[in-house]
Amino acid sequence: MKRMTPQDLFRAVRGSRAAGRLKPGALALALTALAPAVPVLAAPPARAAGHKASVEWITIPGGSFLMGAGDVGADAAPHRVAVRTFQLARTEVTRAQYKTCVDAGACAVPVCDWPPARGEGTLPVTCVDWDGANKFSAWAGGRLPSEAEWEYAARGAGGARQYPWGDRNPDCSLAVLAGCGAGPAPACSKPAGNTPQGLCDMAGNVWEWVRDWYHGSYDGAPADGSAWEVPAGPYRVNRGGSWGTGPDLARSAYRRIPGRPGGDLGFRPAKDR
């Protein structure tokens, strides 16, 4: 449609008046035609559920791997598992992230190490039981990872490696383990120990909840990477070691039966791709 100029407007109005055809409101409509066009702003994109707590998701490509190791315990015999592509939080859930869930009324207050003091927001949240970890994960748009997914990710998407970074013996430049401090460190403080995909603290800092019930062996465990939830048991599994454990317990294949939630136990969520 041709845009009306001021000269066009004058001629149109003069001609209409002369012919007695100037209707009420015609002048206002004509003036409107001269007004500059107002751009229509697009609505902002919807935020993903994970943005409630600013979770940074890392995509872990699927594949098949040998889960377990013969030298970490009788409950971790090697067996082959196929894992679908999924996403895992880059870091352990921090106290600041968990606080957003508490403030929203969706998560319970941790049983210890709470509330976070000034400057503690980047420390991993601890003292959260399995139900609390599960609730936060769902609130953030995900779920807890299966034990197979967790180990697969810790091995750099199923690699034949003992630790997230490879087979080099751990030290304080790679992971927060016993002798590296008197408690957990800020999330992702040891980037040299990251997996090839960029996951932080998959060895050390704090133990991490997974979805599976603990079973004394892998006999009958799912081979498709899903969580082993039937039959139920008295304990859920922990993975990864912590600031209070030695290198052997930080092996990617090592499994722990937890006691009660404490200052060395946290979690990170996963979600389907």
Residue 197 sits in the same domain as residue 271:
yes
In a domain, 46, yes or no: no
Rounded mean pLDDT, 232-254: 96
Structure confidence by residue, pLDDT tens digits, 45-101: 333 444 678 999 999 999 999 999 999 999 999 999 999 999 999 999 999 999 999
In a domain, 49, yes or no: no
Residue 271 sits in the same domain as residue 226:
yes
The pLDDT mean for the chain works out to 86
In a domain, 47, yes or no: no
In a domain, 48, yes or no: no
Rounded mean pLDDT, 258-267: 90
- Look at residue 18 in the predicted model and tell me its pLDDT: 44
Domain hosting residue 25, numbered range? 1-41
pLDDT at position 26 over 60: no
Q: What is the CATH number of the domain that holds 158?
A: 3.90.1580.10
Residue 83, number of CB atoms within 10 A of its CB: 23
Instruction: For tokens 């921090």, name the residue.
Output: 94
- Look at residue 53 in the predicted model and tell me its pLDDT: 83
Residue 130 sits in the same domain as residue 202:
yes
Which residues are CB-contacts of 153 (< 8 A; sequence separation ≥ 6)? Answer: 60, 88, 145, 195, 197, 199, 202
Residue 171 sits in the same domain as residue 226:
yes
How many domains is the chain partitioned into structurally? 2
Q: Which 3 state secondary structure label does DSSP give 214?
A: coil
pLDDT at position 34 over 60: no
Residue 92 sits in the same domain as residue 223:
yes
pLDDT at position 9 over 80: no
In a domain, 251, yes or no: yes
Tell me if the pTM is above 0.85: no
Residue 126 sits in the same domain as residue 187:
yes
- Look at residue 49 in the predicted model and tell me its pLDDT: 40
In a domain, 51, yes or no: no
Residue 112 sits in the same domain as residue 220:
yes
In a domain, 262, yes or no: yes
Q: In the chain, what percentage of residues exceed pLDDT 70? A: 81
